[in-house]
Structures are given as structure tokens and as C-alpha cells.
Structure 1
Amino acid sequence: SIWGHTGGILGFTTLVGGKLGGKHTLVVNWNSLGRTDSPNPFKNILLAEFSK
């Protein structure tokens, strides 16, 4: 399983997460004022990173 937390300030959204034990972690900072076609871009990033 993957554990994490999101947060942000105006214009930026951040996600930090990883697998239990901390051997595989990920931090993403997203410019949320830009246009995106995905309603939840973090989902695609997490799937790509942790499906390896």
C-alpha cells in the first residue's frame, strides 16, 4: 500500500507519499494554475511510479 498526504497553497498542489518502511518515496509539486486534462493528475503519477 501507498501512504501519503496532499496539501498546497494558491497556485501549487503538493503530494508526498511512499510505501511502508520508506524504501520507495515520491514528492510532486504541481503548478495547479496550469491547464490539465486529468481531474486528478496525481493518480496517474502514482500509478506510473509505483507500478514498476
Structure 2
Amino acid sequence: MAKLLAIVEVEKGRSIRCCAEVCNRPVYKRIHVIEKDDRSILVLGATVLA
């Protein structure tokens, strides 16, 4: 089962790309850091999880 590790925020200039297949938008607020079953890390924006 996937595990939520953290919800973080970075400066707008240091935004990351959402790793959701259909997204790839820059995200800097409410970044969800998730550890998948295979121990890989995903970073997702909040709207992907809604």
C-alpha cells in the first residue's frame, strides 16, 4: 500500500513537476510526497488527489 510521507510547500521559483500521468503541471504548494509499494517516490499536486 502506498504511504503519504509529507505534504510540503516550496518557493514558486523552485516548483516541481507533478508526476501524475495526465498532469505534469508545475506545483509549489501542497506537494504530496508518496512512497509507492516498490519504495519509489511520487510527487503529486493536490488537485490530482481530489
Common fold: TM-score over 0.5: no
Using CA pairs under 8 Å that are at least 6 residues apart, name the structure with larger relative contact order, 1 or 2: 2
Which of the two has greater strand per residue? 1
Q: Computing the radius of gyration over CA atoms, which structure comes out larger, 1 or 2? A: 1
Q: TM-score, normalised by structure 1?
A: 0.36
TM-score by length of 2: 0.36
More helix by share: 1
